[in-house]
Chain A
């Protein structure tokens, strides 16, 4: 059974760095083809993809946010960590992590965490 769970602070101040952890079970990020992504959703708005890390430790970032994002993994702990620097009120959102499943050349985010809300406010 695949599960993912996000954890991190519910409130951060402007200019601070946000650190979120995705703890997962039911699969291994050392398995060829596996990857985990972060996605966020501001209140009442659309989904926005943030970053991905794969089994081979390759990392990909949203082009417009890449200078602020760092994604890493701890395979032994089954965790993926996302840091976002210089937080601003516009970064207020629910942050999701999701597993990416490979369907023979196709990819889909097939399992998601429940999301963790983050508010940026002084």
Chain B
């Protein structure tokens, strides 16, 4: 069945790079997404990548897509305490719905 998997927790030191990983199941997915949720807030679209791309870079964020392995990653360079949040991976499913991972909680330690 359709499933998106992420590790639940990641802890990094301030200034280091963070890499959040995700695996998905539907090879026909056209778009894959990363959302960020800060405490007490809604989900904010962070970035997305189209399935014909291998990489997308946006300032401190780098998204890598390995379609063969159905693996998506989000790298945050120079991680700051303000990056502490839950990061959700999602893939475009059928009928205009997204399939969501459970989220990775990123803790940034000073």
Asked if A and B are interacting partners, one says no
Which residue numbers of B lie inside 8 Å of A, CB to CB? none
Which residue numbers of A lie inside 8 Å of B, CB to CB? none
